[in-house]
């Protein structure tokens, strides 16, 4: 019997005794896991519903795949970057592909979440409020603001470029 399972965003056709390398799964070497997302199952020309089939596998090892070289280049700009990447993988040995009911999984999924697990809002602690600095508010444009130290704002700068010629004559005398 074979099955098509989906794990790590990829699909694999597996049968009992097969060894496959999949994206990293949680678990240590020697542990047994159940691949839950079975898309299709069959034997020969007969196909069965994947929802009624379970696939169990043993973790052989946690490893890294072959190195992939990432090379970036922009011509005529002396820009070259070379990086390597090794993806984490899990090696699996398929132990069994069989038809078993998934009633425990459905029963667990059917339970509604109790409302007591919702996070509650907590009032801030008073000592933390005292440590927080107040944020100064910026005055709106065109609004006069009185300074705390009593200083007056600077006088606007006068433009002498447009002065009258009569004033210049009086200054020269």
pLDDT in single tens digits along all 173 residues of the chain: 899 999 999 999 999 999 999 999 999 999 999 998 999 999 888 888 888 899 999 999 999 999 999 999 999 999 999 999 999 999 999 999 987 644 433 333 444 555 555 556 666 666 666 666 665 666 666 666 666 676 776 777 776 666 566 655 555 55
Assigned domain for 32 exists: yes
Maximum C-alpha span of the chain: 117
Which segments of the chain are extended strands (E)?
Answer: 2-7, 10-15, 19-23, 32-35, 38-43, 46-49, 53-64, 68-74, 79-85, 88-99
Q: State the residue for tokens 């130290």.
A: 149
Q: Give the total number of structural domains in the chain.
A: 1
Residue 6 lies in a domain: yes
Chain-centre distance for alpha carbon 107 = 30
**Is 10 part of a structural domain of the chain?**
yes
Q: Is residue 20 part of a domain?
A: yes
Looking at residue 153, what is its pLDDT?
A: 67
Q: Each residue of 131-164: pLDDT tens digit?
A: 666 656 666 666 666 666 767 767 777 766 665 6
Q: Which domain holds residue 47?
A: 2-62+89-101
Query: Is 125 part of any domain?
Result: no
pLDDT number for residue 47: 87
**Residue 27 domain-assigned (yes or no):** yes
- The predicted pLDDT at position 101 comes to 47
Query: Domain for residue 114, yes or no?
Result: no
Query: Is 8 domain-assigned?
Result: yes
Question: CA nearest 97: which of 172, 27, 13, 10?
Answer: 13
pLDDT at 149: 73
């Amino acid at each position: 019997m074979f099955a098509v399972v989906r794990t790590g965003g990829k699909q694999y056709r597996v049968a009992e005794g097969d060894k496959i390398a999949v994206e990293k799964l949680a678990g240590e070497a020697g542990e047994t896991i159940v691949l839950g997302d079975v898309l299709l199952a069959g034997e020969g020309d007969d196909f069965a519903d994947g929802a009624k089939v379970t696939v169990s596998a043993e973790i052989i090892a946690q490893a890294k795949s072959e190195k992939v070289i990432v090379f970036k280049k922009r011509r005529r700009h002396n820009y070259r970057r070379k990086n390597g990447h090794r993806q984490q993988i899990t090696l699996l040995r398929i132990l069994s592909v069989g038809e078993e009911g998934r009633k425990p999984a459905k029963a667990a999924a059917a339970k509604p979440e109790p409302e007591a697990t919702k996070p509650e809002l907590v009032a801030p602690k008073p000592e933390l409020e005292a440590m927080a600095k107040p944020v100064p508010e910026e005055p709106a444009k065109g609004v006069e603001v009185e300074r705390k130290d009593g200083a007056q704002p600077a006088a606007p700068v006068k433009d002498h470029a447009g002065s009258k010629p009569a004033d210049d004559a009086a200054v020269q005398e």
